[in-house]
Amino acid sequence: MKHIQSIVILLLSTFVIGCGGSSDNASSPESSVSLRVACVGDSITEGTGLSNPAQDSYPSQLSAIMGQGWEVQNFGKKSATLMKGGSLPYWNTSQYSASLNSNPDVIVIMLGTNDAKPYNWANKARFVSDYTALIQSYKNLPSAPIVYICYPPPVYDVVAGITDARIKNEVIPKIAQVASTNGVEVIDIYSALSNKKSLFPDSVHPNKEGARLLAQEVYQAIY
């Protein structure tokens, strides 16, 4: 199910509130509003490996695709895990705090790759409950954002103990369970970037073209 109708209603209601119901205010620059998209994730979201992450990361490219009326912010943190007991819990980062304070209308979460490291995945029993808690922390915000969660992209070699088999056969099924339990839509980044090894120079992080495909997949899910 697409959420564009809900998002348009959000935009219109925000515009009316910003205008205070006055036709004079409606024509002033101060009355213009944007819907905020918060991209939550790890180094793949942050843009590790890109020569110019500020321009080429998937949130930056998503911003360019979405255009006027949208503000896309990058809250990715290198090495972050979804699980609270992981090696670098996203929960403990300044990016998490900033994402909560960003007054988001849409949240896009892409975590799980670092959780697939063997010493993190030993605590996999907590993955679903911790993911549910993260989603709820955003749903409970005053802005009541629409939340999307993503399957992480494929891994094209064994990196830091992360295997594609674990991503595909263990992490993704748990994310599917989270989506079903919480009534949120999944964005299938895994399928979108499968069989595209050439777009992953270090086997984990997409290059500029890979980030563009990722951004397009997110855009299509929102619209």
Residue 31 and residue 74: Cα distance in Å, rounded?
Answer: 25
53 and 15 in a single domain? The answer is no
Residue 138 near residue 102, CB atoms below 8 Å: no
Banded model confidence at residue 206, pLDDT cuts 50, 70, 90: very high
CB 148 within 8 A of CB 221: yes
Q: Which of 27-31, 104-108, 152-156, 191-195 has the lowest mean pLDDT?
A: 27-31
Show the tokens assigned to 122: 């030993």
At 34, the pLDDT band (50, 70, 90 cuts) reads confident
CB 107 within 8 A of CB 146: yes
Number of CB atoms found within 10 A of residue 159's CB: 17
**Residue 39 sits in the same domain as residue 23:** no
In this predicted structure, the answer to whether residue 123 has a pLDDT above a threshold of 60 is: yes
Question: Are 128 and 218 found together in one domain?
Answer: yes
- Using the predicted structure, report yes or no on whether residue 33 has a pLDDT greater than 80: no
Share of the chain above pLDDT 90, in %: 84
pLDDT band at 10 (very low <50, low <70, confident <90, very high): low
Name the nearest CA neighbour of 115 among 175, 58, 180.
175
Residue with tokens 């951004």: 215
**How many folded domains does the chain comprise?**
2
Helix (H) or strand (E) holding 120: helix 118-121
Residues 178 and 163 grouped into a single domain:
yes
Contact 38, 75 (CB under 8 A): yes
The CATH number of the domain where 208 resides is what? 3.40.50.1110
pTM value?
0.89
Non-local (6+) Cβ contacts of 136 within 8 A are 182
> Residue 163 is which amino acid?
T
Exposed (0-12), middle (13-18) or buried (19+): which is 175, by Cβ within 10 Å?
Answer: buried
pLDDT of residue 86: 98
pLDDT greater at residue 3 or residue 39: 39
Q: Which pLDDT value is given to residue 9?
A: 52
The pLDDT, as a whole number, for residue 3 is 54
Nearest to 212 by CA among 61, 86, 88: 61
- Considering the domain architecture, whether residues 20 and 75 belong to the same structural domain is answered as no
Structural domain harbouring 123:
34-222
Q: What is the pLDDT of residues 73-106, one digit of tens each?
A: 999 999 999 999 999 999 999 999 999 999 999 9
